[in-house]
Amino acid sequence: IEYQPDLLAVREDAAVVGGKLIGKGNKITGGIYTAEGLPIYQGLHKEYSGYMHRASLQQEAEVIDIRCMKASRQAETILEDLIGHPYLQHPVTGKFDWQDCLKECGCRNDRDFVDLSRLGAVVTKGVANVPWPGNPTPRVAETYGGMLNAIGLQNPGIDVFVERDIPFLQKYDTKIIVNVCGKTVEDYLAVVERLEDQPVDMLEINVSCPNVKEGAIAFGQKPDSLYDITSQVKKKAKQPVIMKLSPNVTDITEMARAAEAAGADALSMINTITGMKIDIHKRKFALANKTGGLSGPAIKPVAVRMVYQAARAVKIPIIGMGGIANAEDAIEFLLAGASAVAVGAMNFVNPYTTVEVAEGIEAYMERYGIGDVAELIGAVES
């Protein structure tokens, strides 16, 4: 990517023209970066209250993929002023629209909407032993009843996570569950060992990552591979281990049994379902990666079915997830056999979803005279 003085001149006091933004308190650092993250231009722009927006300049400066954080009025005004600029195109629609940006590319800072202390736990995004740049954009696309993503588990690496994110999460009265990812068993173990003396409550092992030593087949797609990584993680982990199962398998019960046999303390399921979307007008894939993980309400019936099957195959607890949008969805998972539930994609649509689900479950229990949520677990009539 070449230095673009005209891009930087669009709005001198607007950090969004810089290409990649990282909020530091009220100060926004902007710059143009290569695909590898190397800075070509960096500069400190005018201060604005609240968090701004993070953007990454794409190849040949054709697209800026906006990742929305807090929807501060100042940031919204800046973006509205820049609508129509050729460099500011939506990575999916080809147009720039503030609401589309929130809906399809949103990466909101939910602490500004929800008191995290009201949640039973916060599960982080995947953390690797080294920083991962993620996949090329576009990497998010809207679908009927959900969304496809091929983020590629972009993350800053375990060192940054320990120094920056754990202290932030410690401010809240909630459990911290760290999602761990890797490309080899050794990668996973490096993160697990790094976390052994950290104030985190549980580890969630993302076995949907491709195993580079086994022809890129995901760790969670073969029972023997799943058993191996589960047992090795358990030998090193100081915290309880949750194995996050992939739905992209022939028999979910076989995978659940393998994880349990290897010593897993709990299961979380399901991860995203592999899907694809094609732009018929451009005759191009909607995602640069071609395929992506489908999440959102569209996958809920599949997720409920798999939780039901797994709950009858193993004795360890299951955290149910996959398309939960409201309390009714969450209660379905509980009745199917989940001991707890988690909300993912719907946080992009409604950042209050988690609290609304918790309150809705409580209202349901009061309505039907249920004194303990445990009475709901696996209570569906056969």
One-letter identity of residue 40 = I
Backbone angles phi, psi at 44, to 5 degrees: -95, 125
Q: How many CB atoms lie within 10 A of CB 13?
A: 10
Q: How far apart are CA 292 and CA 148, in angstroms?
A: 5
Q: How far apart are CA 114 and CA 354, in angstroms?
A: 8
Alpha helices (H) along 183-298: 185-194, 223-236, 252-261
Largest pairwise CA distance in the chain: 67
Does residue 209 have an active-site annotation? yes
Supply 354's token pair: 């988690």
Give CA separation, 175 vs 9, 110, 123, 372, in Å. 45, 16, 9, 20
Give CA separation, 145 vs 297, 298, 321, 324, in Å. 5, 5, 15, 11
Active-site entry in 68, 105, 181, 209: 209
Instruction: Choose among 299, 292, 30: nearest CA to 137.
Output: 292
Give me the torsion for CA of 283, 286, 287, 288, rounded to 10°: 30
Q: Which residues are catalytic?
A: 209
